[in-house]
Amino acid sequence: MPEMSGISLTTRADVREAAARVNLVDARLNQARREARVDLSLQGGYSHAQLRFPLRGVDAHGMLMPIEQVVHTALIGARVSLPLWNRNQGTIEALTAERAGATDTLAARERQARAELDTALLQDREARRAIEQYSAIRELARQNVDVFLESYDLGRATLADVLIEQRRYLDVETGYTALLARAYDATVALRLARGETR
C-alpha cells in the first residue's frame, strides 16, 4: 500500500474499503475460474450394521439360536464435472471488468488520499509557522502598550493614544486567536487525512 511522508494510507477507511473490494472481486473471479474447469471428486464410505430380532430360530443341528445378521457395506464413487457448455465465460468477463473498475477506484482513492494528505501537511506546517511569527508580533504589541502607558504616566501621551494602542493590541490578539483556530482546523484536517479520526 502506498505511503506518503512516512505515513501509511492503509489507516484510511476509504482506501481500506476499496482494497477490500478488489480482494473480494479477486476471490469471486478465482471461484468462477475454478468452476469452469474439469473437476473430479472421489467419495468413499463404509458402514457396519448388526440386525437382531427378539425371536429364536433352529440351526442345522436342531439347536435354538437367536436370529441376527451382520451387514458390511463399502461405497466408492466418483463425480466428474465437465463444463462443456457452461464455462462461466460471461461471469469471468463481468468479474474481470468489475476487478478493473475496483482497481481503478482503489487507485483513485489512493491519489485522493495522497492529495488530501499533502494539502493537510502543508496547511498544518504553514499554520505552525504563522503562529511562531505571530508570537513575536504579539510580544511587540504588548510592549507598545506598556510604552504608551509609561508615556501617559510621564505626561507625554494622551489617554486617547493609550486607548488607540490598546485597541491595536486587542486587534493583534483577535488575529492570534483566529490563527489558533485555523491551526486547530489544520491539525484536525491532517488527522483526518491520515485516517486517525473518523
- Binned average pLDDT, 10 residues per bin, the chain of 198 residues: 55 90 94 81 89 82 84 88 76 92 95 92 94 91 94 92 95 94 93 82
- Output phi, psi for 108, to 5 deg: -65, -40
Q: Provide the b/e sequence for 48-71 (b: ≥16 CB within 10 Å).
A: eeeeeeeeeeeeeeeeeeeeeeee
**pLDDT the model gives residue 40:** 78
**pLDDT the model gives residue 4:** 45
Contacts with 10 (C-beta within 8 Å, 6 or more apart), sequence order: 1, 16, 19, 195
Could you tell me the pTM of the whole model? Answer: 0.58
Q: Where are the alpha helices (DSSP H) in 1-88?
A: 13-35
Query: Distances in Å between the alpha carbon of 62 and those of 55, 57, 58, 65, 187?
Result: 15, 9, 5, 9, 102
**pLDDT the model gives residue 62:** 83
**pLDDT the model gives residue 25:** 95
Q: What nine digits make up the cell of 34? A: 475454478
In whole angstroms, give the CA distance from residue 55 to residue 176.
Answer: 105
Closest Cα partner for 194 from 110, 117, 122? Answer: 117
In whole angstroms, give the CA distance from residue 86 to residue 78.
Answer: 21
Cβ pair 149, 162 in contact under 8 A? yes
**pLDDT the model gives residue 34:** 84
